[in-house]
Structure 1
Amino acid sequence: MKPDLLLHIGQSKTGTSSIQRVLGARRAALARLGVCYPASPGWANHGMLPASLVPLSRLGHFNPALWDGIGAEARLSRFRREFQAEMSGLPATTRLVILSAEQCGGLLDTRELITALRDLLAPHVGRMRVVIYLRRQDQHAASGYTQALRVAHVGPPMLPRHGPEALPHYDYARQLDDWAGVFGEDAMLPRIFERPRLLNGDAVDDFLALAEVPLQVPAEDPDRQSNLSLTPGGIDLVRAMGQHLKASPAGLTAASPLWRRFTQAASEALPGRGWRPHPAEAAAFLARFEQVNEAVRRRWFPDQPTLFEPLEPSATPPPAGPPPLDPEAALEAACILLEQDLRAAALREANQLAQIGALHARLGEAPQAMAALRAAIRAVPDHPMAQQHLAEAALRAGDRAGAEAHLAVLRRAHPDHAATARVERLLTLA
């Protein structure tokens, strides 16, 4: 029998990156449960799948790193071959295939394209189900501002000025109708992306339960926290950097490795809630989708009084225009980012020097070993491996007091580290 298919089509900014990273990092565990999370469409995000069905002219926003240096056309051709081979060679124990690409909802915007996807998958699977998480339009647009910054749209944050006629990706009624028209209404599994309506208030737990996959993912697992938004200061910093690069000879482009590296570093160092519009602005924007959302509620969520949680009113008037860039907030964010970057660079340097020192020690080159280890300590004074190797060198030289001094540093900075336990053991035996 062919395996079932669970096709996760988004939306973006509804925990999709976290879901994808959790699944991508656990392919072996999933396989033991009879679940395949294919690798050919992408390690985490299966964006290659919808990308292979549309003209290349629509893929300008895709990360150029996905093309592996051979260009989009050649890379997509290779994907088509690899995907066919992977799906044709599924183990007989596979009961479920999961595909996840939020680009499905954006790129496959006609029934013809959706049909092309269904026809591509149908030879390899049996029952097909389609999962989509819907987020209130004002919240989705606000959350998407951080993503817009990452692709070099560095203007001030604001909600779109249009409604469903100009923003079809927010016309959830039409989107669900199109996918149901191709896959069948019974195949559709729409969900609302709001904490009270998610299992444990978490998109990963909710998706795994929906897929009936008993995969245990610790709450503190870093894969659960993916594609986070920025702090207000982080937003101002990225905007300021974007303006700086725009004025540089090279300019600012989303494809720039420098820009992608910078925005990734900012996202890691400055995670936050992102931009939030004033409630009055959000209400005016959301009002344009009232009929669309009511149609979705009637058809797909008839037991719910409203499709989404209502807006909280505000007593303060809305601002006169988009928020200006705050130089002080940008400077503070830049200091945080610089501090973290300098600490990470020092740790990388210390790790390399400690490894070089350990190698010299194994080769019997004591002076070179001591020089490298002392350099590691200068970079990171309490570096555990460097402290351990220096303590061992002191013991070999008969300097018990020196070894105990290094152990005191280890106990203070790394009481539970393996290096601390090793030096304690050596001192006990000495």
Structure 2
Amino acid sequence: MRHAILHVGLHKTGTSAIQRALSEARDALAAQGISYPGPAGRRPLPRAHHALSQDLGLPVEPEPDRFGLAELDAVLAEDGADTLVLSSETLSGPLVTAERVRPLVDRLLRHGFAVTAVAFVRPQAALATSFYVEQVKALQCDLDFEAYAAELVAHDEMDLGRRLQAWTDSPEIRFVAVPYRPARDGLNPAEDLLAAAGVDEARIRAVGLGAGERVNVSFGPEGVAACRLLARRAASLLPGARRALAQIALDEVQIRGWDAGRFDGFDDDGARRFGERFAASNEAFAARHWGSGFDARFGQEAGRRWHRNERSPETLGDAGEAFVDAVLRRFEADDLRPKIVRLRRQAERQARRGPFRRLFDAVRGR
């Protein structure tokens, strides 16, 4: 039987590194009978398959290079590979239900695929911190960390069982949970993905994925504070300008060295108390999928020491204002405003379509 591997996240568990490794190895994977597809005739091919979630009615941003359900239909009709790999972290979360993903799963089953869903997971304190930094970098959040973490809890964003229930509760889907460990001696997490799904070790070695590389830039406390300040100052330009502004901001943060170090929103006591909220559900998740305790699976990640170093935007003083001015000057020099107006109107139309309301509110900073 043919085998479909769905890499469904979680967010901030090396997903970008996995997607880049697989996309750059498409030809080598194909030589081993493993397809990591993209839309026909387009170059460069997209690294991931986020448009599948868009077609399933999930609140994701539109992809410029789509690989949605229509493109998947074409691949299923024409591609003879015995193993198909699809990857998008947007396929996990509280809004992702078994009913929502049914059109995707049914397509695969109809074409004779056995379906395995693989998710990398990590302790909630580390997950919340990574979520926060990513949202701030993308100019989608100007809250302080404590307020952001409280919203995650209030909206039930952190319970692993609920985030992954679309994949764990279906008898037609084999589900595999993989403990995420950052910086694992240069190992490529894409190899971990394929191995966890049951791909033969010899085939994985033959692909030659090589050592894993860090993809996303991490921000220190100054970078986080600077982007919070920018999100406030540039609110009138959002959401249409967000991607362009965030890319410029990333560059300016690196120029200033504000990407050095690691942001910690918790101290040791805060991280412990946050983790305790999920202790019972984590143990149930671990017992079900690993047959062991939760923390035992994470090594140093579970015993991480925390050093709260959050800075408010105001503490940056003149340096923060100079950062905002530099970003806005570069943005205005590119003369993107007509495009921004068009994108803002598009976002507002999508927001009125129900499933996009929550994303729209997040982008608007509500």
Q: What's the TM-score, normalizing by structure 2? A: 0.72
1:225 counterpart SS class:
coil
SS for the counterpart of 1:127 is: strand
Q: Structure 1 residues 184, 148: closer, same or farther in 2, change over 3 A?
A: same
Equivalent AA in structure 2 for residue 282 of structure 1:
A
Per-residue deviation, 1:123: 2.3
Deviation at 1:88? 0.8
In the aligned structure 1, how far is the partner of 2:253 from the partner of 2:25? 24
2:40 aligned with 1:43: no
Aligned twin of 2:92: 105
Q: Does 1:124 align with 2:123?
A: no
**Structure of greater relative contact order (alpha carbons < 8 Å, 6+ residues apart):** 2
Q: Which residue of 2 aligns with 1:374?
A: none
Q: Pairwise mapping of residues 22-421 of structure 1 onto structure 2 (< 5 A)?
A: 22-40=21-39, 43-54=46-57, 58-59=59-60, 62=61, 64=62, 66-67=63-64, 79-91=68-80, 94-106=81-93, 109-149=96-136, 150-158=138-146, 160-161=149-150, 166-184=154-172, 187-195=174-182, 202-210=188-196, 211-212=199-200, 213-214=204-205, 215-219=207-211, 224-246=213-235, 250-253=236-239, 255-266=241-252, 271-272=259-260, 274-276=262-264, 277-304=266-293, 306=295, 308-309=298-299, 310-311=302-303, 323-325=311-313, 326-327=315-316, 330=319, 334=323
Q: Which has the higher helix share?
A: 1
SS of 2:117's partner is strand
C-alpha displacement of 1:161: 2.0
For the 8 Å contact 1:163–1:285, the answer to whether it is kept is no
What letter is aligned with 1:251?
Answer: L
Change (3 A) 1:333 1:204: farther
Offset of residue 24 of structure 1: 1.1
CA distance in 1, matches of 2:252, 2:120: 27
Find the counterpart in structure 1 of residue 338 from structure 2: none
Equivalent-residue separation in structure 2 for 1:286 and 1:46 (angstroms): 31
Name which one, 1 or 2, has greater alpha-carbon Rg: 1
Aligned partners of 2:9 and 2:119 also within 8 Å: yes
Percent identical pairs in the alignment equals 23
The Cα offsets for residues 159-216 of structure 1, whole Å up to 9 and x where unpaired, read as: 522676x44342213344542222547x1110111249x6856523422443442232
Q: Which amino acid aligns with 2:131?
A: G
Aligned partners of 1:8, 1:96: CA distance in 2, in Å?
Answer: 13
AA aligned to 1:262 is I
* Cα deviations by residue, 1:249-307 (Å, 9 ceiling, x for unpaired): x4333653531332442576554554212121111211111111011122122234635
State the Cα deviation string for residues 399-419 of structure 1 (Å, max 9, x = none).
xxxxxxxxxxxxxxxxxxxxx
- Tell me, in whole angstroms, the C-alpha distance in 1 between the residues paired with 2:242 and 2:305: 41
Q: 1:343-364: per-residue Cα shift (whole Å, max 9, x none)?
A: xxxxxxxxxxxxxxxxxxxxxx
Secondary structure of the residue aligned to 1:152 is coil
Aligned length: 308
* Residue 8 of structure 1, CA deviation: 0.4
CA distance in 1, matches of 2:8, 2:219: 25
* Structure 2: runs of 5 or more not aligned: 331-366
Contact 1:233 1:330 in 2 (8 A): no
Residue type at the aligned position of 1:203? P
- The alpha-carbon distance between structure 1 residues 233 and 54, as it changes in their structure 2 partners (threshold 3 A), is same
Q: Structure 1: 5+ residue runs without aligned partners?
A: 69-74, 342-430
